[in-house]
Structure 1
Amino acid sequence: MAIRFRLPAPLLALLAVIPLLTVAHHARPAPYGDHLTVSRTAPARVPHAAPRLRTEGAAVRAHDPRTGALRWRYTRDGRRPLTSLHARGDVITLWDDGLVTATDGRTVRWHRALPAPGDWLPDHGGTGVLRLLGHGMLAVVTPYRIAAYRIADGDLRWGLPASDGCAFQPRRAVHHARTLVVAQPCPHAAWTAQLVALDDLGRIVPRRRPLGTEPRDEDGPGRGRPRIEHPNPEKVLAQPR
C-alpha cells in the first residue's frame, strides 16, 4: 500500500516561486551597465605582458601585444570610454559619465564616481585625468580636487581640494621622476602656488605629514577615513611626526 505525503500549501507555493526568483536573478542588468566579454580564442595570459588597448566607439578592447588577438572587450550600457591606462595588471578607464573602473580582464574589480563630472568633464574631456603614482596608487585629477586611490581595491587614500578661486588643470600635469606636478592657475597668486607637486603620500611640502587614511581602533591598522589636505599647505603646515 503506497503512502502519500501531502505538503502544506505554503511550502508548495514557495517551491513554485523559487524557479521564478532564479530567472529574475539572472535577468537583472549588470551593475553599472558593465559588459565584459573575454575572447575564447585569446592566448593564455602572459605575466607582466600588458595588453595593447584600443578605444573603439563605446568599447575598450584589449589585444595580445605579440599576436594582436583580442583578449577582452569591455562596454557599459549607454556610456563611452574617454581614456584608459595600464596599472599593475589592471586597466583603469574613465567613462563619459564620470565613472572610473578597474578591470583585470576577467572581472570588473571596482567602480568609483567622480564628483560633479557634468560641470567639467564635457568641456575638459579625459585627457590627463588618470595619473599613476608610486607604490600602487592612482591619482584622479579634476578641476576641483585631486584624489588618490589604491589600485589594488579602489580604496580612497587621500584628497586635495583646489585652493579657493583656483582650479587644477589635468591636461597640464607632468611626471618628473616619482613626482606628479599639476598646474593650478590662480589669479593674483605667486607662481609657486600655481604648481602643485604630489607623490603617493600627498602634496610635497616642507615638514609635511603624509596623507592617507588615519587608522582607528575599531577599523584596525591601515583603515579609517581618508585625510583631506588643507588647500593652502604652504600657509598651514602640520607638525612633523
Structure 2
Amino acid sequence: MPAPPPPPERQAFPSHRARRLLPATLALLIAVPLFALAHHARPVPYGDRLTVHAREDAAEPVRSAAIRRAAVEAYDPLTGAVRWRHARVGSRPLEVLPARGDAITLWDDGLITATDGRAVRWHRALPGAAHGLPEAGATGVLRELPRGMLAVITPDRIAAYRLKDGDLRWVLPASEGCSFDAGRAVRHAGALLVAQPCSGDTWTAQLTAVDDLGRIVPGRTPLGNRSPGRTSEHTKSEKLVARHR
C-alpha cells in the first residue's frame, strides 16, 4: 500500500502577538534617529561656540588672547596663529585675561567663563549682573590675585573667584555713596589697590586694598580661599560678604 502523501506545508503567518508588536517596533526604529537628531540640534548651554583651529596646540596653556569680531581668540605666542575661538550666541566679550593657562572672559550679560581650548571649563554669573559695564567700559575689570584667585571689579562690588574651579569666594560691596573704579586699580606687593571715589571724602579714604583673602584692614578675618571641605579657625569654605569697616 503506497504511503500517504506528506501534508502540505503550512504557510507561516505572524502570530497575533507579533502582529501587535510590529507597529511599535517600526515606530521605535523611526523615532531613534529623530531623537538623535533632536539631541544634536538642541542649543548648547550658555550658547558657547568653541572652534579649534590648531588642534595639536589647543591644549597648550593660554598665554596670549584677545577679543576679535565678538569672540575671544587664543594665539600661539611664537607664530601668532589662532589656536581656538570662543563665541557665545547673543553675547559679546567685554574683557579677556590670560590667567593660569585659561582665557578668563567677562561677557556683556554678566557671565564669566574660563576656556582652555579643549572646553569651556566653567561658567559663573557675576553677582548683581553686569548692568552699566558696557557704558562704563570694562578695562581692568578682570584682575589676577595671589594664590590662584581672580578679582572682578564693577562699580558696585568686587567679587573674587577661585581660578581652578570658578568657585565664588567673597564679595566686597562698595561703601555707601562710593563706587569702585576698575581703570584705576594697581598691584602692589601682593595687594590690589582699587580706587573707590566717594563724594566728600579725602583721597586717603578713596582707596581699597584687597588680596586673595578679601579686604586688607588691621585685625581682619580672612574671607576664604580654601578648597571645599578644608576649613580653619579664620578661613571658612563658604562664600562670605565683606562687612564695611
Q: Please say whether Structure 1 and Structure 2 have the same fold, judged by a TM-score greater than 0.5.
A: yes
Counterpart of 2:156 (choices 144, 163, 177) is 144
Displacement of 1:147 in angstroms is 0.5
Query: Partner amino acid for 2:214?
Result: G
CA deviations 1:174-230 (Å, max 9, x no partner) are 111211000111123343331100000000011111002799xxx843585301011
Name the SS of the counterpart of 2:95 in structure 1.
strand
Q: Secondary structure at the match of 2:230?
A: strand
Q: State whether structure 2 residue 67 is matched by structure 1 residue 55.
A: yes
Q: Tell me what 2:209 maps to.
A: 197
Verify the 8 A CA contact 1:63 1:71 in the aligned structure 2.
yes
Counterpart in the other structure of 1:239: none
Distance 1:181 1:37 in 2: 37
1:37 aligns with 2:51: yes
Greater strand share, 1 or 2?
A: 1
Deviates more, 1:53-62 or 1:100-109: 53-62
Q: Is the Cα contact below 8 Å between 1:214 and 1:224 reproduced in 2?
A: yes
Does structure 1 residue 130 correspond to structure 2 residue 139? Answer: no
Structure-2 residue corresponding to 1:97: 109
Identity %: 57
Check 1:18–1:145 CA distance in 2 against 1; reply closer, same or farther (3 A cut). Answer: same
8 Å contact kept, 2:160–2:170: yes
Instruction: Look up the match of 1:186.
Output: 198
Aligned partner of 1:169 in structure 2 is: 181
Confirm or deny: 8 A CA contact 2:213 2:225 kept in the other structure. Answer: no
Query: Deviation digits for residues 21-65 of structure 1, max 9, x if unmatched?
Result: 2211110111111100011x45536865x4422321212111111
**Matched residue, 2:3:** none
Q: Deviations over 1:90-119 (max 9, x none)?
A: 00011222221110111011112222322x
Larger radius of gyration: 2
1:212 counterpart = 2:221 = no
Runs (4 or more) in structure 1 with deviation over 4 Å come to 1-5, 45-48
CA offsets 1:152-186 (integer angstroms, 9 cap, x no match): 11100011011111111111111112110001111
**8 Å CA contact retained: 2:58, 2:116:** no
Distance 1:129 1:171 in 2: 7
TM-score by length of 1: 0.83
**Most deviating of 120-129 and 143-152:** 120-129
Aligned pair 1:18/2:27, yes or no?
no
1:143 Cα offset (Å): 0.8
Root mean square deviation, CA, Å: 2.6
Q: Provide the C-alpha distance between the structure 1 equivalents of 2:223 and 2:149, rounded to a whole number of angstroms.
A: 13
Cα distance, 1:44–1:187 mapped onto 2, change above 3 Å: closer
Greater displacement, 79-88 / 127-136: 79-88
Partner of 2:238: 225
Alpha-carbon separation, structure 2, partners of 1:47 and 1:122? 31
Which of 27, 34, 41 is the matching residue for 2:41?
27
Q: Structure 2 regions of 5+ residues with no counterpart?
A: 1-9
Gaps of 5+ in 1: 234-241
Q: CA deviation at 1:77?
A: 1.3
